[in-house]
């Protein structure tokens, strides 16, 4: 964050307050006492709250057939709720209540189930993909709703990521986009990121060797609206068409998190999620 936007203040606090503040300081995410106070005030005042999340829910889910012949993949149940509802509830937990659902295949069933979202305490806006637009193309359809920084989710992942911390990390960097990164035992099915500090340099699609990175794209992004300028028309992929350009310009960062994360793209992964997902805590 630019130091020119800061102003030095002197405050007096009760000793028990300062003791609690000092317990927050870890030297990494919370650098010092001043940083801790700033984070607490930012959270209390909600001055930079991100208001909007775009959830990609338009894919055909071909790897999850036969489940997806009659049911859109985001509606597949996990712990008694549709998969995409867990993402909506994560957003609501962090007071992000303007939800854009990008739907395509059997999208009418998603809209019929969730309606305007009021029963979940959110407002849902739908954009419809007449043809599959990939992971980036829907941004062009959603452009008129994206007037400020926003979150974006792949609709087939489950995570309990601290969205507030992701947002604060993004704001502290010179980033146009921040990718949430999680560590997996076998990254060969995902591809990994190469980092310099927190900045993403490149992506390795087929990592080899025991020293290869195990950090992968977790399918949760914090994006500046300027990212829309990088999205080609028609079908486009964030992973192929957008993120590499941002990495070349040094404007793409990675946020590490160690919480729950499940990919539900295959029957085996879905079975694991059903057994182990603990919900949005």
228 sits in the region (left: phi over 0; alpha: psi -120 to 50; else beta) called: alpha
Give the pLDDT confidence score for residue 73 in this predicted structure. 86
pLDDT (tens digit per residue) in 70-120:
778 888 888 889 999 999 999 999 999 999 999 988 889 999 999 999 999
pLDDT (tens digit per residue) in 26-62:
887 788 888 878 777 766 554 457 899 999 998 776 7
DSSP 36-68: HHHHHHHHHHTTT---EEEEEE----GGGTTGG
Task: Judge whether 206 counts as a catalytic residue.
Answer: yes
- Given pLDDT bands bounded at 50, 70 and 90, which one contains residue 162? very high
Give the pLDDT confidence score for residue 5 in this predicted structure. 56
- Given pLDDT bands bounded at 50, 70 and 90, which one contains residue 263? confident
- Rounded alpha-carbon distances, angstroms, from residue 270 to 44, 248, 259, 265, 273: 37, 35, 18, 7, 5
Give the pLDDT confidence score for residue 178 in this predicted structure. 97
Cβ neighbors of 176 (< 8 A, separation 6 or more) are 223, 224, 226, 227, 246, 249, 251, 252
Give the pLDDT confidence score for residue 2 in this predicted structure. 46
Give the pLDDT confidence score for residue 138 in this predicted structure. 96
70-79, 157-166, 175-184 — which is least confidently predicted? 70-79
48, 79, 206, 278: the active-site residue: 206
Q: Report the percentage of the chain scoring pLDDT > 90.
A: 46
Once rounded to an integer, what is the mean pLDDT over residues 216-227? 94
**166 pLDDT exceeds 90?**
yes
pLDDT (tens digit per residue) in 128-145:
998 889 999 999 999 999
pTM for the full model? Answer: 0.82
Give the pLDDT confidence score for residue 4 in this predicted structure. 46
Give the pLDDT confidence score for residue 86 in this predicted structure. 95
Q: Report the percentage of the chain scoring pLDDT > 70.
A: 89
């Amino acid at each position: 964050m630019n130091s020119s936007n800061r102003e030095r203040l002197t405050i007096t606090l009760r000793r028990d307050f300062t003791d609690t503040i000092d317990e927050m300081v870890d030297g990494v995410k919370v650098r010092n006492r001043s940083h801790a106070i700033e984070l607490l005030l930012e959270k209390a005042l909600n001055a930079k709250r991100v208001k909007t999340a775009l959830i990609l829910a338009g894919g055909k889910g071909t790897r999850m057939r036969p489940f997806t012949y009659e049911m859109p993949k985001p509606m597949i149940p996990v712990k008694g709720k549709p998969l995409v509802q867990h993402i909506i509830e994560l957003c609501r937990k962090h007071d992000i209540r303007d939800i854009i659902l990008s739907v395509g295949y059997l999208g009418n069933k998603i809209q019929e189930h969730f309606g305007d979202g009021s029963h979940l305490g959110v407002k849902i806006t739908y954009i419809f993909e007449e043809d599959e637009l990939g992971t980036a193309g829907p941004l062009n359809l959603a452009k008129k709703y994206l007037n400020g920084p926003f979150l974006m989710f792949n609709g087939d992942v489950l995570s309990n990521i601290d969205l507030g911390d992701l947002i604060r990390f993004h704001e502290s960097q010179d980033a146009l986009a921040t990718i949430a990164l999680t560590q997996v035992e076998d990254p060969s099915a995902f591809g990994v990121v190469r980092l310099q500090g927190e900045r993403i340099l490149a992506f390795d699609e087929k990592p080899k060797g025991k020293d290869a990175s195990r950090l992968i794209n977790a399918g949760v992004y914090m994006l500046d609206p300027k990212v829309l300028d990088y999205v080609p028309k028609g079908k486009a992929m964030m992973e192929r068409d957008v993120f590499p350009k941002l990495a070349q310009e040094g404007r793409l960062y990675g946020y590490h998190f160690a919480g729950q994360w499940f990919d539900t793209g295959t029957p085996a992964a879905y079975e694991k999620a059903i057994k182990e997902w603990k919900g949005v805590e």
